[in-house]
Amino acid sequence: MRITIATFLSGLIAFPIALLVYNSKIANDIISPVISIMRYIPVTAFYPLLIMWFGIDELMKIIFLFIATFVYMMPSVILCLDEINSDLIDTGLTIGMNKLQIIMRVQIPAILPSLMSTFIMMYGIGWTYIAVTETINAKYGLGFIIQQSSSRGRTDLVFMAIIMIMIISVLFDNLTKKLVKRIFKWRYLNDCTE
Protein backbone atom coordinates (compact mmCIF):
# COMPACT_ATOMS: atom_id res chain seq x y z
CA MET A 1 0.00 0.00 0.00
CA ARG A 2 2.80 2.42 0.94
CA ILE A 3 4.74 1.74 -2.26
CA THR A 4 1.61 1.94 -4.45
CA ILE A 5 0.45 5.28 -3.03
CA ALA A 6 3.95 6.81 -3.23
CA THR A 7 4.59 5.58 -6.77
CA PHE A 8 1.20 6.76 -8.06
CA LEU A 9 1.75 10.19 -6.48
CA SER A 10 5.22 10.29 -8.00
CA GLY A 11 3.81 9.48 -11.45
CA LEU A 12 0.95 11.99 -11.15
CA ILE A 13 3.36 14.79 -10.29
CA ALA A 14 6.37 13.75 -12.43
CA PHE A 15 4.38 13.30 -15.66
CA PRO A 16 3.03 16.88 -16.05
CA ILE A 17 6.29 18.40 -14.79
CA ALA A 18 8.30 16.33 -17.29
CA LEU A 19 5.98 17.44 -20.12
CA LEU A 20 6.45 21.05 -19.03
CA VAL A 21 10.25 20.69 -18.80
CA TYR A 22 10.42 18.97 -22.19
CA ASN A 23 8.27 21.57 -23.95
CA SER A 24 9.42 24.75 -22.22
CA LYS A 25 13.01 26.03 -22.24
CA ILE A 26 12.37 28.25 -19.18
CA ALA A 27 10.97 25.32 -17.15
CA ASN A 28 13.87 23.15 -18.33
CA ASP A 29 16.44 25.72 -17.20
CA ILE A 30 14.81 26.06 -13.75
CA ILE A 31 13.69 22.51 -12.88
CA SER A 32 16.19 20.18 -14.58
CA PRO A 33 19.26 21.27 -12.55
CA VAL A 34 17.37 20.79 -9.26
CA ILE A 35 16.22 17.26 -10.19
CA SER A 36 19.70 16.38 -11.49
CA ILE A 37 21.29 17.39 -8.18
CA MET A 38 18.67 15.49 -6.15
CA ARG A 39 19.50 12.24 -7.99
CA TYR A 40 23.00 12.34 -6.47
CA ILE A 41 21.82 12.94 -2.90
CA PRO A 42 21.21 9.65 -1.05
CA VAL A 43 17.48 9.43 -0.40
CA THR A 44 18.18 8.14 3.11
CA ALA A 45 19.72 11.57 3.89
CA PHE A 46 16.16 12.98 3.81
CA TYR A 47 14.93 10.48 6.41
CA PRO A 48 15.87 12.49 9.56
CA LEU A 49 14.43 15.68 8.04
CA LEU A 50 11.17 13.95 7.14
CA ILE A 51 10.88 12.62 10.69
CA MET A 52 11.32 16.16 12.06
CA TRP A 53 8.84 17.68 9.60
CA PHE A 54 6.16 14.96 9.35
CA GLY A 55 6.62 12.83 12.45
CA ILE A 56 6.94 9.05 12.40
CA ASP A 57 3.53 8.05 11.08
CA GLU A 58 2.36 6.81 7.66
CA LEU A 59 2.62 10.23 5.97
CA MET A 60 6.39 10.36 6.52
CA LYS A 61 6.84 6.85 5.08
CA ILE A 62 4.83 7.69 1.96
CA ILE A 63 6.68 10.99 1.44
CA PHE A 64 10.03 9.19 1.79
CA LEU A 65 9.02 6.61 -0.85
CA PHE A 66 7.65 9.43 -3.02
CA ILE A 67 11.02 11.23 -2.98
CA ALA A 68 12.84 7.93 -3.66
CA THR A 69 10.81 7.32 -6.83
CA PHE A 70 10.22 10.90 -8.01
CA VAL A 71 13.89 11.85 -8.48
CA TYR A 72 14.25 8.95 -10.93
CA MET A 73 10.80 9.05 -12.50
CA MET A 74 10.86 12.59 -13.86
CA PRO A 75 14.16 12.19 -15.79
CA SER A 76 12.89 8.82 -17.05
CA VAL A 77 9.71 10.44 -18.42
CA ILE A 78 11.85 13.06 -20.18
CA LEU A 79 13.93 10.23 -21.71
CA CYS A 80 10.67 8.66 -22.94
CA LEU A 81 9.78 11.98 -24.60
CA ASP A 82 13.24 12.14 -26.20
CA GLU A 83 12.59 8.75 -27.84
CA ILE A 84 9.56 10.03 -29.79
CA ASN A 85 10.12 9.79 -33.52
CA SER A 86 10.61 13.37 -34.76
CA ASP A 87 8.60 12.49 -37.89
CA LEU A 88 5.46 12.24 -35.73
CA ILE A 89 5.93 15.78 -34.41
CA ASP A 90 6.83 17.10 -37.86
CA THR A 91 3.66 15.52 -39.28
CA GLY A 92 1.59 17.16 -36.54
CA LEU A 93 3.11 20.54 -37.29
CA THR A 94 2.58 20.03 -41.03
CA ILE A 95 -1.15 19.43 -40.59
CA GLY A 96 -1.43 22.59 -38.47
CA MET A 97 -1.39 21.33 -34.87
CA ASN A 98 -0.48 23.85 -32.19
CA LYS A 99 1.84 23.09 -29.23
CA LEU A 100 -0.96 21.84 -26.96
CA GLN A 101 -2.35 19.55 -29.66
CA ILE A 102 1.14 18.14 -30.28
CA ILE A 103 1.42 17.36 -26.57
CA MET A 104 -2.07 15.85 -26.24
CA ARG A 105 -2.36 14.01 -29.57
CA VAL A 106 1.25 13.10 -30.40
CA GLN A 107 3.56 13.13 -27.37
CA ILE A 108 1.32 11.56 -24.72
CA PRO A 109 0.02 8.67 -26.89
CA ALA A 110 3.55 8.00 -28.21
CA ILE A 111 5.13 7.67 -24.75
CA LEU A 112 2.39 5.70 -22.97
CA PRO A 113 4.05 2.25 -23.40
CA SER A 114 7.43 3.57 -22.23
CA LEU A 115 5.72 5.49 -19.44
CA MET A 116 4.08 2.32 -18.14
CA SER A 117 7.46 0.54 -18.21
CA THR A 118 8.98 3.47 -16.30
CA PHE A 119 6.20 3.23 -13.71
CA ILE A 120 6.96 -0.47 -13.24
CA MET A 121 10.65 0.32 -12.75
CA MET A 122 9.84 3.04 -10.18
CA TYR A 123 7.59 0.61 -8.36
CA GLY A 124 10.65 -1.65 -8.09
CA ILE A 125 12.69 1.23 -6.65
CA GLY A 126 9.97 1.63 -4.02
CA TRP A 127 10.53 -1.99 -3.00
CA THR A 128 14.27 -1.36 -2.55
CA TYR A 129 13.53 1.39 0.00
CA ILE A 130 10.65 -0.27 1.87
CA ALA A 131 12.94 -1.88 4.44
CA VAL A 132 14.36 1.57 5.31
CA THR A 133 10.90 3.11 5.48
CA GLU A 134 9.54 0.53 7.89
CA THR A 135 12.38 0.70 10.43
CA ILE A 136 10.73 3.46 12.48
CA ASN A 137 7.30 3.21 14.13
CA ALA A 138 6.01 0.55 11.75
CA LYS A 139 3.54 -1.94 13.13
CA TYR A 140 3.38 -4.12 10.03
CA GLY A 141 5.12 -4.69 6.71
CA LEU A 142 8.05 -6.69 5.43
CA GLY A 143 10.56 -4.00 6.43
CA PHE A 144 9.10 -4.13 9.94
CA ILE A 145 9.56 -7.92 9.99
CA ILE A 146 13.19 -7.54 8.86
CA GLN A 147 13.89 -4.89 11.52
CA GLN A 148 12.21 -6.75 14.38
CA SER A 149 13.63 -10.14 13.43
CA SER A 150 17.20 -8.86 13.05
CA SER A 151 17.06 -7.19 16.49
CA ARG A 152 15.92 -10.53 17.98
CA GLY A 153 18.47 -12.61 16.11
CA ARG A 154 15.84 -14.38 13.97
CA THR A 155 17.81 -14.64 10.73
CA ASP A 156 15.31 -17.18 9.38
CA LEU A 157 12.53 -14.54 9.44
CA VAL A 158 14.86 -11.93 7.94
CA PHE A 159 15.61 -14.26 5.01
CA MET A 160 11.93 -15.14 4.67
CA ALA A 161 10.99 -11.43 4.44
CA ILE A 162 13.75 -10.81 1.85
CA ILE A 163 12.54 -13.82 -0.17
CA MET A 164 8.95 -12.51 0.03
CA ILE A 165 10.09 -9.12 -1.32
CA MET A 166 11.86 -10.92 -4.18
CA ILE A 167 8.80 -13.10 -4.97
CA ILE A 168 6.40 -10.15 -4.91
CA SER A 169 8.78 -8.08 -7.08
CA VAL A 170 9.22 -10.85 -9.68
CA LEU A 171 5.47 -11.57 -9.84
CA PHE A 172 4.61 -7.87 -10.12
CA ASP A 173 7.29 -7.29 -12.76
CA ASN A 174 6.21 -10.23 -14.94
CA LEU A 175 2.47 -9.58 -14.65
CA THR A 176 2.73 -5.86 -15.37
CA LYS A 177 5.07 -6.38 -18.34
CA LYS A 178 2.57 -8.83 -19.85
CA LEU A 179 -0.23 -6.35 -19.18
CA VAL A 180 1.70 -3.52 -20.88
CA LYS A 181 2.36 -5.72 -23.93
CA ARG A 182 -1.33 -6.64 -24.09
CA ILE A 183 -2.56 -3.05 -23.74
CA PHE A 184 -0.05 -1.62 -26.22
CA LYS A 185 0.00 -4.42 -28.80
CA TRP A 186 0.86 -1.96 -31.57
CA ARG A 187 4.15 -1.09 -29.85
CA TYR A 188 5.23 -4.70 -29.32
CA LEU A 189 4.00 -6.12 -32.63
CA ASN A 190 7.52 -7.19 -33.69
CA ASP A 191 8.06 -9.00 -30.36
CA CYS A 192 4.87 -11.04 -30.87
CA THR A 193 5.79 -12.15 -34.38
CA GLU A 194 9.28 -13.38 -33.43
Query: What is the C-alpha to C-alpha distance for residues 144 and 6, in angstroms, rounded to an integer?
Result: 18
What number of other Cβ atoms are within 10 A of residue 38's Cβ?
Answer: 16
Asked if 133 and 143 count as a contact pair (C-beta separation under 8 A), the reply is yes
**pLDDT digit string, tens, across residues 70-122:** 888 888 888 888 888 888 888 888 888 888 888 888 888 888 888 888 888 88
**pLDDT digit string, tens, across residues 119-154:** 888 888 888 887 777 777 767 777 778 777 777 888
pTM for this entry? 0.75
**pLDDT digit string, tens, across residues 3-58:** 889 888 998 998 898 888 888 888 888 888 887 787 777 877 888 888 888 888 88
